[in-house]
A and B are shown apart, each in its own frame.
Chain A
Amino acid sequence: MSNKLTTAMAISLIIGLAVGYGISFVAPPLSQITTTITKTLSGGSAPPAATVTVTTTITQEGKPKTYKIGVTLPLSGELSSIGKMWQYVITIAFDDLNKNAQAYGLNVKFVPVILDDATQDEKALENVQTFAQQGIKVIIGPAASSQVKVVKSYADTNHIVIISPSSTAPTLAIPNDYIFRTVGTDALQAKALAALVAHEGIKKVVVFNRHDEYGMAFAQFFKKYFENDFGGQASLMSYTTGLSDYSAEVSSLSSKVQSFGAEAVVLISFDTDGANILSHASQDPVLSKVRWFSSEGIHGASELQDPSLASWLVQVKFLGTRPMQPHNVLYKEFVKEFKAKTGQEPPVFSANLYDAVQLAGWAILRAHQYDGSAIKAALPLVAKNYFGPSGWTLLDENGDKAVQDYAIWTIKQTSNGKYAFTDVGLYSGGSISLNIKS
């Protein structure tokens, strides 16, 4: 008897579940109010830059609709020093995004889901997979280009939007994929550097670059722009990285400069290798007769401020380029807020990260649905109409920041007799303006 009763109850339960499941498809959804808002997208409270129409859905109960956004940060590993500070940027960015959305009467809430990728390629993919399995469709990060490469195929196949605030590898400039970057690629900086070299009246250069993805790609783009756009001639010469001393490489460079008849050397390096190369070059008579140019990689290396090397850099009229933090009101506001929270200056790419969060949030709203393909389509439109701490976030056909200004820097002697890194010009909108005589 009891067996029969148990069986009957189990059958009733199964039937009940099936009926309930079916009803959920047939029954009308919760009453919803569709609100259309024409709003101005800008970070913080600065003057408006442009307008865009956002339509969103608010549930009648007044409970905010929650959207989860994945964030994969380098909280440990090689980039952990900036990754940990970026966690504060994420907090500020999500607070501002939620406040702005609520200020426009949108009953929505954006929630960051943060995971540590340890600056490792494998962990970045694991994190993206974890987000995908939770149904998250938009992810901020990862930071490094090698990590973005690893997650790209997965993101494209599973329609997950990736917004990296700091990946600059030109090889990731691919149209119609799910990868977006809120920072200009190295190709843009290579163009700026080519323009600077040409502006200085140089026609023949030797590019001396690191033999890694950064150095190789930068050098190839420089050559392309310098030769095609400015009619110059560039000979590429790469050096093996990770050495403790580069004297042999500098000797080879000297021979190359002499045989090629170069008027200048373009150095694409990081700080420690670059400083070592320059110190050996300063002892070489051939290399002391030509001009020297560089990218952002060596900017900030303390060895360059050493009087003996610095005076040589002044002698060879050394100039370099670096992505400039736009001096706009929004950036200053952001810095103030960040300092109030941490007591420190925001690290590199913080503004780009802040804007990545804003773009993700507004693109979700603009898409009208939490769907990767719809958000992907909405993102460039939102970016076109958004101006934030990193400036205008217009994206190019590859989904990368299209407009990036670059400061021109050098080493100058200050009034107290010491040498310091000084910005002496600007590359903006394809033209160079310099404050010093070459």
Chain B
Amino acid sequence: MIGFNVLGFLISWATFLGIYSILSISLNLEVGFTGIVNFGKVAFYAIGAYIAATVSTYTILMLYNIRAAPYTTEGIIALGKYEYLNPFLDAGLFLLAIVLGFAISGIVGYLLTYPVLRVGPEFVGMTLLAFGELLRIFFQNYQPAGGSKGLMSIPHPLGWLRTPLIKDGLYTLIVLGFLVLIYLYSQKLVNSPFGRLLKAVRDDEVAALCLGKHVPRVKATILFISSGFAGIAGVLMAFYLSAINPNMFMAVVTFNIWGMVILGGMANNLGAIVGAAILTFIDRALTFVTPNLGITIITPDYIRWMSIGLLITLVLLFWPRGMVPEKPVETPPLKLIKKRGDRNEHNA
């Protein structure tokens, strides 16, 4: 018997859709709009997740005067006892983690501009990929962050609600709320003069420099903003899962996000969401489909990767610019021209 429940399916899918859409918008700002090849996106996601985990667990233990680290059995037991006593504390910790997750991930992204500029555009991807792996190994060996065991009992901001459907549904709305805010901000950003500058840097960095544009500052700014967004996604994921470990932040996560951006369409924020929606839907739907397959010649793993590979190939063959291709920047004159065009059509 397969446990299919439409509402439950929608809630769990929408949560992952929200988190991965934030990540794909974040990557799209770098690679799609600015031309920064980032193979280390997972690092900023991990920073956000670890900030959420450490800030929330250590704060609760400190406030209740528990002299145990959150990764020890004593700490885990104490967290289980105290984590949902005060809903305001849980909500406060969530908001604090969001702010810190954005700020610290953003600052790390900003600082990475220095090595990125030194190695030149050809090696940016590899440099950031190496940074991601370096950070994962650091977390694996850094005991205060749980080391290889990771951290658990991260207090859910709505954990005090007793009805699973309401709790999960509300958290999904919070995640989608963040997605809407980030999408609107990103749309505003890429349609502003700064957005046009991003595209100029992407299309011809030397030309942008010759025109007097401060390319390093542009790259640093966009890395700050997009890394901060990835940090927020990490925070949302950590509170959703309530436990994290270093193996969740392997390089494959980055390539999954790349798949979403390629599928949806580079330099289009809506495309990034469409790509995330398709891949997370396939992922979630297979959970229900796989138990029906039984023992087959092709294992479900291969079915997943084959179907995604086939989909990306088809999209690149028939829509090389992705399912939702890049659109011109919505400048005021363009809006005016469009408006006049609409009016003329209407009159005709």
Contacts and interface: CB of A to CB of B under 8 A. Distances in A.
B5 A130 contact: yes
Contacts of A169: 149
A133 B8 contact: yes
B9 A130 contact: yes
Contacts of A130: 3, 5, 8-9, 12
Contacts of A55: none
B287 interface: yes
A355 interface: no
A174 B76 contact: yes
Contacts of A112: 1
Interface core residue of A131, A157, A212 (most chain B CB under 10 Å): A157
Q: Which of B154, B248, B287 has the most CB of A within 10 A?
A: B287
Interface in A321-356: none
Contact of A122 (B3, B16, B76): B16
A367 B242 CA distance: 29
Interface string B237-268: 10011110101100000000000000000000
A73 B288 CA distance: 11
Contacts of B284: 126
Nearest to A215: B148
B152 A152 contact: yes
B148 A122 contact: no
B242 A150 contact: yes
A118 B287 contact: yes
B315 interface: no
A129 B153 contact: no
Contacts of B83: 153
A80 B12 CA distance: 22
A173 interface: yes
Contacts of B153: 152-153
A116 interface: yes
Contacts of B7: 133
B92 interface: no
A129 B12 contact: yes
Contacts of A175: 77
Given A75-B291, A157-B159, A126 B12 contact: yes
Interface in A169-225: 169, 171, 173-175, 177, 211-213, 216-217
Contact of A133 (B165, B240, B295): B165
Interface in A96-154: 111-118, 121-123, 125-127, 129-134, 136, 146, 149-150, 152-154
Given A75-B290, A156-B80, 9 more contacts: A80-B300, A118-B287, A125-B242, A130-B5, A133-B8, A149-B245, A153-B80, A153-B152, A171-B149
18 contacts: A87-B291, A87-B294, A116-B287, A121-B243, A123-B283, A126-B12, A130-B3, A133-B165, A133-B168, A146-B150, A146-B243, A146-B245, A153-B83, A153-B152, A174-B80, A177-B80, A213-B150, A240-B137
